[in-house]
Amino acid sequence: MNRGLPEDLGATSRPKSVQEYIDETPVWRDGTLLRTTPMTGMQWRIWTLAAAGKFFEGLVVFMTGVAMPLIADEFHLSAMQHGVVGAASLFGILVGAVGLGSLSDRFGRKRMFVTEMFIFMFFLCLIVFSPSYLWLVVFLFGIGVALGCDYPTAHLMISESIPSSMRGRLVLAAFGFQALGALTGTAVGYVILRNIPQIGAWRWMYATAIVPGLVVTIGRLSITESAHWLLARGKIELAKQQADRLLRRNPPYPRGVTLDGSGERDATGDHRQHRGYGALFSKDNRRATILASVPWFLQDLGTYGIGIFTPVILAASVGHKTRYVRNLADLINNDILAARGAAMIDVLLIVGIFCAILLSDRVGRIRLQIIGFVGCAAGLLLASSSGFYTGGPHVLLIFLGFMLFNFMTNLGPNAQTYLLAGEVFPTRVRGMGAGFAAAFAKIGAVMTAFLFPILLADVGSQTLLYILVGTSLLGAAITWAFQIETAGINLETIGCRTHIARVTS
């Protein structure tokens, strides 16, 4: 090795665990350690392809908010059918997270990571040619199933492949592409409406994701399998091969991989024991299950309700909306105004996730989640106060409230619940636990999407916002009561006896 270059001192002197190899830093010839572990090309490839999956989720789900008025007009939807369309992809996410996401514990992280993209592409192509309301619901549900599988698998592909010291930042950076997708989806909807002012313009909105989706699907075929999962399944030789490929650098570091599987077994136990979802409610995992699931459920009530129906709410408050739609031109005009206002508010999602990336490993997941929940409640309370005003103050309070909510939810609960769900469970049930948490959360999202248009008509937006203020404060309380801090924690220690004792003490 050339003078001045870092070298691997004793890389093969003793067997190590997978995470020890991933976390290990090179050493200069004079004995000085590098400050961080350099990422390999494969690690960055995995991160990029996982981030793309979160982008598509934000793109498709939030684009539905812009497409909804056109869909409702083309298929002559009632209020209930309107709610079903809004909830279809979210219900699919629920089913996919619990039904397919947990399969990553059985068949492997990579296999499900690839499978979900094939499912996504299949239904995305079909949705462009939806012949009726019923088929549209079926295709949206299918897209949701694929996105639901991505919740646990994308997180695990990243978190089980990168150094512990930067896990929080990189997982949240990938998750942040959901916010970028939401903004892009709203912007794409706006651009298409401006250039294709037709009732079928919503089909072109979904079609824009086909080519990028195909590129990501092909890319996922080339990544490595999780060495953590292989080792937990007793496949030591395959784990060694995949770890070696994951950590391949030029110049080579480490020079060779010799795995010690005892640490993984001690942390996770025999993978043949406690199979099934009952394991999540055992004494060792119950606290983690509550922390991962219940706050996520509560934050989804607000995040998806506000996110999907922001264009609907803003349509009555922004610009010069036509109160009584008489023709297609009026409908397109209203939708353009709503999309423009939603895009302005969605920018705060990106600002919020950027701050979460910077602070998560420094401040801690739990503290940020509590602060975020309280901030969400403040934003919703501010928006609800708009009901006491008219004109300019009414519009200003709605904008300020929604902007504060979007910033605080991505700083706190929307980002941290996703991060915690993939970290608080041991390897043998990590996919199942993260999938269950995501599915449980999407019950809240489905309820909101289905009931929101009905409740908006029955009780009004102000009462709904008051309810969401209460759910946000409840989320903060439950996070505090069942807190498990995972910032900087080696995932191989999650679930071991010493870790459990420290968490519950």
Nearest to 160 by CA among 107, 235, 108, 116: 108
CB contact at 8 A, 151 and 438: yes
- pLDDT at position 211: 94
* Rounded Cα–Cα distance for residues 101 and 435 (Å): 5
Task: Please report, for the chain, the start and end positions of each structural domain, with discontinuous segments joined by +.
Answer: 41-270+279-504
Write out pLDDT tens, residues 5-27. 454 444 445 777 888 888 888 77
Contact 223, 239 (CB under 8 A): no
pLDDT at residue 484, as a whole number: 93
CA diameter of the chain? 78
388: nearest Cα among 466, 272, 497: 466
Give the pLDDT band (50/70/90) at residue 309. Answer: low
pLDDT, residue 338, reads 56
Rounded to whole angstroms, the Cα distance separating 213 from 336 reads 26
Residue 356 CB contacts under 8 Å (≥ 6 apart), including other chains:
172, 176, 368, 410, 411, 412, 415, 416
CB 185 within 8 A of CB 66: yes
Segments of 2-151 assigned E as strands: none
Whether 113 has a pLDDT exceeding 90, the answer reads yes
Enumerate residues 6+ apart whose C-beta is below 8 A from 181: 54, 55, 56, 57, 58, 59, 60, 62
pLDDT of residue 130: 92
E strands in 257-396: none
Domain at 41-270+279-504, CATH homologous superfamily: MFS general substrate transporter like domains (1.20.1250.20)
According to DSSP, residue 254 is labeled S
List the structure tokens of 348.
């705060």
Query: What is the arithmetic mean of pLDDT over 317-327?
Result: 45
- Lowest-confidence region among 121-125, 164-168, 411-415: 164-168
pLDDT for residue 319 is more than 90 = no
72 pLDDT above the threshold of 70: yes
Whether the predicted pLDDT of 443 surpasses 70: yes
**Residues facing 7 on adjacent strands:** 27
Structure tokens at 154: 């994308």
Phi, psi (degrees; rounded to nearest 5) at 27: -125, 135
CB 427 within 8 A of CB 268: yes
d(CA 357, CA 359): 6
Phi, psi values for residue 259, rounded to 5°: -90, 145
CA distances from 488 to 165, 208, 361, 374 (A): 5, 38, 7, 25
Which pLDDT score is estimated for 346?
64
Identity of the residue numbered 308: I
Nearest in space to 95 (alpha carbons), one of 142, 153, 157, 133: 142
The C-alpha atoms of residue 117 and residue 120 are separated, in whole angstroms, by 5
> Which tens digits make up the pLDDT trace of 32-43?
777 777 889 999
CA 461 to chain centre: 27
φ, ψ of residue 3 in degrees (nearest 5): -60, 140
pLDDT at residue 326, rounded to an integer: 44
User: How much is the pLDDT for 140?
Assistant: 92
Tokens of 265: 């077994």
Listed residue (154, 220, 188) closest to 66, CA to CA: 188
Q: Are the CB atoms for 332 and 193 separated by under 8 Å? A: yes
